Amino acid sequence: MAKKRSPAHPAIGLKGSVDRVRKIAGGFHDHWFPIDALAELFKLSPKSSGFLQMIGALKQFGLIAEKGSKDDREFQLTAIALDMAHCEEGSAEYKEALTTSALLPALHSEIWEKYGGKLPPEDAPIRAYLVRQRIEGTFNPAYVDGFINQFRDTLRFACIDHEDTISGDDQGNKTRTLKAGDFVRHPSQGADQFRVLNINGEWVEVEGSDMGGWLPMSELTVVDSPMQNDRQTSPPVAPGLRPLESDSLAPEIAQEETALDEGSAVLRMPTELSPESVEELGYWLTGILQKARRRAGLPKIDDPAGGE
């Protein structure tokens, strides 16, 4: 009887993938390199399962781009991979790269979305979902615990696994869970409100503060969204993306639109994109398409290189 295959997922966690990215950056910088050279760098056979699983993990985390086919394939580190390799650990660029990469694998984003960004403290509900309940395909029970552990390790490494609480009013007599997209106020800046972009321990990265991007959590107060105070704002920005400066199309911004039965689908982006940005856009659009297919009851687009 054939062994049950699990859904595609990274065979290596994010921390291990970052270690490999740094080694690749040291050998090839931002240049394209052939598959044989990559295998030689890691002293592996280009046809070995360990080497192919490494490539699959790096692709699913959005860390390498690929062109060509079979033995003629070439690879290049993506922009977020280069941020991981060259930016100082703890910098905003490094943390943003980790956050973006951690949720790029389709199965990671599926579980994160299922639980609304707040995973159950115990593994049992996740295990039950993956082994028995998942519509798109269930997990091999022999591998599910290893995946869950690796998934949690990836979220911890990217600093997006924990709950953070902050005072809910000026008197501090209630608390709320603080998450990306919430709005906070700092006493030194009056009534100004700032959107939360990221959380790392006792520090909160906010958008638009004169004091800099990171503020101490102990000095912040959670406030209602400006939308509730007749101040219009855009929705929270997805990790790794930048908000447009204006709601109107600037000359350098292009808009693509297609009509669907349910309404129009619109994409706005700069007219001129670097090769690295095109690759990142491709990974992002693939993730959106995977979610749309899942919600529509369609099978996912398999990544043949991922998982058992």
Domain ranges in the chain? Answer: 14-157, 164-229
3-state secondary structure of 9: coil
Q: What is the pTM of this model?
A: 0.55
For residue 205, which amino acid is it? E
Q: What percent of the chain has pLDDT over 70?
A: 75
Q: What is the mean pLDDT of residues 254-265?
A: 73
Higher pLDDT, 209 or 133: 133
Q: How confident is the model at residue 304 (pLDDT cuts 50, 70, 90)?
A: very low
Higher pLDDT, 268 or 237: 268
CATH of domain 14-157: 1.10.10
What tokens were used for 123? 């593994």
Residue 48 C-alpha from the chain's centroid? 28
CB under 8 Å, gap of 24 or more: what pairs does 22-28 form? 22/84, 22/85, 24/64, 24/77, 24/81, 24/85, 25/77, 25/81, 25/82, 25/85, 25/86, 26/85, 28/76, 28/77
* Average pLDDT, rounded, for the chain: 78
Task: Out of 16-20, 102-106, 197-201, 231-235, pick the least confident.
Answer: 231-235
CATH second-level architecture of 164-229? Roll (2.30)
Is pLDDT above 60 for 247?
Answer: no
Q: Say how far apart CA 290 and CA 36 lie, in whole Å.
A: 31
Q: What is the pLDDT of residue 90?
A: 84
Is pLDDT above 90 for 15?
Answer: yes
Sort strands 194-200 and 203-207 into parallel, antiparallel or unpaired. Answer: antiparallel
Higher pLDDT, 271 or 22: 22
Task: Out of 257-261, 266-270, 302-306, pick the least confident.
Answer: 302-306
Is pLDDT above 90 for 76?
Answer: yes
Is pLDDT above 80 for 129?
Answer: yes
Q: Say how far apart CA 9 and CA 13 lie, in whole Å.
A: 10
Q: Say how far apart CA 143 and CA 5 lie, in whole Å.
A: 9
